[in-house]
């Protein structure tokens, strides 16, 4: 009996953000940071520190001990969105300005990165929690090209796990 297996493609994905915890979001807090509108996502990465222990009398190798988990920062890139008022929607810039400007409580977002199949249904999902904006990069402007203005958001978060889709 043969099983028909296909490889997942990396060009269909969705990123969503939610404010964790009960109750309504803080006044002025964006509840949507452009969910689904990103064209690139990198940093779906978890690494475990491994400690080596040289056990006395054991000469054929060392004991490997599990250590702390480290997660990579998520980097999201997207085209800048022009809203209904004919201006760029600045929610990522507002978020980092609030955090660095001392607005408390600090807004942290949980989120999902979902890899989508041909039917646009999730085939794989990664969940991250308590994300902060570590860096926001504006577009590289060049009058000689007709490229879309791309902005980039780097998220520092407190955990990443793969969940059932």
| Token pair 């978890």 in the structure block, residue | 46
In this structure, is residue 95 part of a structural domain? yes
Walk along the chain (165 residues) in steps of 10 and give the mean pLDDT of each run.
75 87 54 68 97 92 95 93 79 90 91 92 96 94 89 96 86
In sequence order, what are the residues at sequence separation of 6 or more whose Cβ sits closer than 8 angstroms to the Cβ of residue 105? 26
Residue 121 lies in a domain: yes
Residue 145 inside a domain? The answer is yes
100 falls within a domain: yes
Specify the CATH number for the domain of residue 118. 2.30.110
Does residue 7 lie within any of the structural domains?
no
Domain count, the chain: 1
Specify if 105 maps to a domain.
yes
Q: Is residue 57 part of a domain?
A: yes
Written as six digits, the tokens of 26 are 């803080």
- Give the residue numbers spanning the domain of 91: 13-163
Q: Which residue has the tokens 């915890």?
A: 21
The answer to whether residues 138 and 151 touch, using CB atoms and an 8 Å cutoff, is yes
0.75 exceeded by pTM: yes
The answer to whether position 5 is within a domain reads no
């Amino acid at each position: 009996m043969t099983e028909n297996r296909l490889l997942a493609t990396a060009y269909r994905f969705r990123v969503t953000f939610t404010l964790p915890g009960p109750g309504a979001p803080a006044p002025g807090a964006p509840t949507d940071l452009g969910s689904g509108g990103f064209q690139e996502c990198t940093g779906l990465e978890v690494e475990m520190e491994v400690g080596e222990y040289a056990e006395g009398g054991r000469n054929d190798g060392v004991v490997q001990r599990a250590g702390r988990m480290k997660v990579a920062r998520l980097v999201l890139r997207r085209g800048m969105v022009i809203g209904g008022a004919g201006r760029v929607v600045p929610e990522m810039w507002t978020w980092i300005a609030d955090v660095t400007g001392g607005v408390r409580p600090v807004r942290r977002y949980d989120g999902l990165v979902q890899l989508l199949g041909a039917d646009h249904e999730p085939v794989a999902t990664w969940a991250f929690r308590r994300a902060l904006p570590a860096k926001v990069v504006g577009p590289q402007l060049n009058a000689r090209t007709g490229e879309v203005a791309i902005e980039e958001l780097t998220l520092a978060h407190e955990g990443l796990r793969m969940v059932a889709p």
